[in-house]
């Protein structure tokens, strides 16, 4: 390929990049990297082609031929370590040709795409199994909170701004004026003058010195603040002028962004996005990569190189190095013959409010694929916590490790059936799979041995995890009442099945497993339980001894609801009704419940059948009125 200019990433003697842009041509293959703008590089290309033709005694290109040369080209931008392709969404074929050519001279991981805000660009990359080339890098929830807190800075006056280090823009929020309004007149005037001046200035990178948050706020808000004539108004007049714009600003904010706290996932995600976006943005948001994804997944998915299926042939991404991911893709393509592409991501950090340290195989993945019918499927994959490798790590021999791993798989599936038998609304279907991988653990005798690894697959459940519901939603009494009733019903079932952490023995309820379904009216319409993890860990203690723990669901939302007594009453009503109903159901069908696991080993050391019998006995012996009264006392309603 002909090159006009310097090589990509070339630097001068002082270490400065010689060119920040390039244009790649395909009708006559070539690359122009000379300094200038893209339009100038196109002119250079045509001039160079005509000069060569003149030397060869050939007539210059006709206007039609020039247009053909220019039509078959792609814009490139060079950063210190990346080549950014700026694709025409209507000509993704050219962008991919540029990608293939660039991979001959730079690593694929150093090539990214601009214009990912375009659905056509995202779709084209997704269908190549390349979500990983658009996704933002994962960041833990704790790191997001720290990033936001450390980004709060002053200019000369009060620290009311959130600073984006990449663009140099400082964001002012609507509630930022609350502390400003408390200032004395002299300080107030200085602060407002600083904000207005910043809104009217641009830094050396061409970005606003100060901007309003969120960036998508109506342009009228910016205009209203920028036009305030600070020095022509008395302090009282200035306060009224600012207050008028601030009121309009607050009214324009979506309800989920009005609570400016990092515990509000919607606000935290939006602020984190504003603070981390760069001048040449290549990353798509999670909701753009997966329609309907919950806000708690923001920056939590580490997308991995995937695969596409072209005319029935599986084509793995050349960057794929994760053998576990490759095995998952193999299983899908071996079992389903009508898949077009597969994208797989790893959940980088626990989404629970109080995550418990898991073992090394407790990984959770998310898989996105499209079937030949055009239906896109989103599935969650969770690896079995105690598998062959974990039992080998305990010093057991290979046969015993396999037997105990299989028994644990049965135990997991039996507990799922127990939960469903009692009425827990779990995903309707659960898949079970396994593949072979090499063992590398503490049992030296079996180092490098081939062992089976088991995992479970379920459909992604759309909705909002109960512990991630934005606090402003509870300001609506109808929402709060419906939420409390559904959570009360779910709490009763959670207590019946004795769900708790096997490590810390704390409750798992209201910690990411309960997903709220929102109806067309914006109110809670149902509650799904995504996983039965931790069920039947507690199967002997009477309900009265730990029911008070379920009061936290109500108590931690006290400051958000307008009528705490009504909120608590709805929760208790749902709880008592479900507890009594399940107890009566078991009594009415006693024989069916008692014999459900009659063929399973009955071991008082804690077999599944024994736990089931204990749970049923405990439920039958309970007094719903007494248990509910103890819960009400703990709630302090």
Q: What is the pLDDT of residues 212-243, one digit of tens each?
A: 999 989 999 999 999 999 999 999 999 999 99
Please report the pLDDT score of residue 348 as a whole number.
74
- The pLDDT tens digits for 256-291 are 888 888 888 889 989 998 998 877 778 887 778 888
Indicate the pLDDT class of residue 372, thresholds 50, 70 and 90: confident
Answering whether pTM is above 0.85, one says: no
Confidence at 357, pLDDT banded by 50, 70, 90:
very low
- 207-239 burial string, b = 16+ CB within 10 Å, else e? ebbbbbbbeebeeebbebbbebebeebeeeebb
464-635 maps to which CATH number? 1.10.1070
* 356 pLDDT above the threshold of 60: no
Q: Which pLDDT value is given to residue 237?
A: 95
| Confidence band, pLDDT 50/70/90 cuts, at residue 359 | very low
Query: What is the per-residue pLDDT for 297?
Result: 83
CA distance readout (Å), 372 to 316, 340, 409, 428:
18, 6, 32, 23
Yes or no: say if 551 and 635 are a contact pair by the CB < 8 Å rule: yes
pLDDT over 70 at 255, yes or no: yes
Highest mean pLDDT among 134-138, 150-154, 444-448: 444-448
All structural domains of the chain with their residue ranges: 2-115, 141-276, 291-459, 464-635
Q: Which SS3 state, helix, strand or coil, does residue 541 take?
A: coil
What's the rounded mean pLDDT across residues 18-26? 93
pLDDT number for residue 177 = 72
* Mean pLDDT of all residues in 457-477: 92
- Pick the range with the lowest mean pLDDT from 3-7, 163-167, 490-494: 163-167
For residue 353, is pLDDT > 80? no
CA distance 1 to 269: 44
User: Pick from 483, 466, 519, 473: which is nearest to 256 by CA?
Assistant: 473
CB 193 within 8 A of CB 228: no
Q: What is the pLDDT of residue 282?
A: 81
pLDDT value for 354: 52
How far, in Å, are 24, 42, 158, 163, 414 from residue 52 at the CA level?
18, 16, 63, 52, 77
Give the tens place of pLDDT for each residue, 394-417.
999 999 999 999 999 999 999 999
| pLDDT for 26 beyond 80 | yes
Asked if residue 166 has pLDDT above 90, the reply is no
* Least confident residue range of 204-208, 246-250, 559-563, 577-581: 204-208
- Mean pLDDT throughout 467-481? 92
């Amino acid at each position: 390929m002909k090159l006009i200019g310097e090589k990509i990433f070339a630097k001068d003697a002082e270490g400065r990049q010689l060119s920040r842009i390039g244009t790649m041509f395909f009708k006559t293959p070539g690359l122009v990297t000379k300094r200038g703008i893209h339009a100038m590089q196109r002119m250079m290309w045509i001039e160079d082609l005509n000069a060569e033709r003149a030397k060869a005694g050939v007539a210059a290109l006709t206007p039609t031929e020039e247009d053909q040369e220019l039509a078959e080209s792609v814009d490139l931008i060079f950063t210190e370590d990346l080549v950014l392709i700026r694709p025409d969404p209507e000509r993704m074929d050219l962008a991919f040709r540029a990608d293939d050519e660039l991979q001959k001279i730079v690593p694929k991981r150093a090539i990214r795409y601009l214009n990912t805000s375009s659905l056509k660009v995202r779709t084209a990359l997704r269908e190549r199994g390349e979500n990983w080339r658009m996704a933002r890098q994962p960041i833990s929830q704790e790191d997001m909170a720290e990033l936001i807190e450390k980004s709060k800075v002053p200019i000369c006056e009060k620290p009311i701004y959130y600073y984006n280090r990449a663009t140099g823009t400082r964001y002012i929020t609507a509630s930022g004026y609350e502390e400003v309004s408390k200032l004395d007149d002299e300080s107030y005037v200085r602060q407002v003058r600083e904000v207005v001046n910043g809104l009217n200035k641009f830094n050396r990178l061409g970005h606003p010195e100060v901007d309003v948050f969120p960036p998508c706020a109506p342009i009228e808000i910016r205009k209203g603040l920028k036009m305030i004539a600070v020095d022509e108004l008395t302090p009282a007049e200035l306060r009224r002028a600012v207050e008028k714009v601030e009121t309009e600003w607050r009214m324009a904010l979506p309800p989920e962004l009005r609570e400016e706290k990092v515990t509000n996932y919607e606000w935290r995600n939006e602020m984190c996005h504003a603070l981390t976006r760069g001048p040449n943005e290549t990353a798509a948001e999670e909701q753009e990569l997966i329609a309907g994804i919950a806000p708690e997944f923001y920056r939590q998915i580490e997308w991995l190189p995937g695969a596409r299926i072209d005319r029935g042939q599986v084509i793995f991404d050349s960057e794929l190095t994760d053998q576990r991911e490759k095995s998952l893709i193999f299983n899908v393509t071996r079992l389903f013959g009508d898949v077009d592409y597969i994208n797989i991501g790893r959940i980088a950090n626990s989404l629970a409010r109080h995550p418990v340290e898991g073992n090394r195989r407790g990984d959770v993945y998310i898989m996105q694929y499209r079937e030949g019918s055009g239906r896109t499927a989103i599935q969650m994959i969770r690896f079995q916590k105690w598998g062959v490798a974990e039992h080998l790590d305990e010093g057991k021999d290979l046969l015993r490790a396999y037997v105990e791993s299989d028994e644990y798989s049965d135990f997991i599936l039996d507990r799922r059936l127990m939960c469903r038998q009692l009425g827990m609304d779990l995903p309707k279907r659960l898949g079970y799979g396994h593949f072979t991988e090499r063992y590398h653990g503490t049992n030296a005798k079996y180092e490098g041995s081939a062992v089976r690894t088991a995992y479970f697959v379920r459909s992604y459940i759309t909705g909002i995890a109960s512990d991630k519901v934005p606090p402003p939603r509870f300001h609506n009494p109808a929402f709060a009442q419906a939420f409390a009733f559904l959570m009360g019903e779910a709490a009763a079932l959670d207590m019946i099945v004795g769900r708790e952490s096997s490590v810390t023995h704390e409750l798992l309820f209201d910690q990411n497993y309960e997903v709220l379904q929102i109806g067309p009216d914006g109110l809670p319409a149902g509650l799904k339980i995504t996983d039965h993890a931790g069920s039947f860990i507690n199967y002997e203690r009477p309900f009265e001894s730990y029911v008070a723990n379920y009061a936290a669901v109500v108590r931690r939302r006290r400051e958000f609801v307008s009528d705490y007594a009504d909120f608590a009453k709805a929760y208790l009503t749902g709880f008592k009704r479900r507890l009594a109903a399940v107890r009566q159901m078991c009594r009415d069908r006693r024989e069916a419940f008692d014999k459900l696991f009659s063929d399973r080993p009955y071991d008082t050391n804690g077999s599944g059948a024994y736990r089931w019998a204990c749970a049923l006995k405990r439920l039958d012996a309970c007094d719903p009125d007494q248990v509910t009264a103890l819960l009400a006392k703990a709630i302090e309603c």
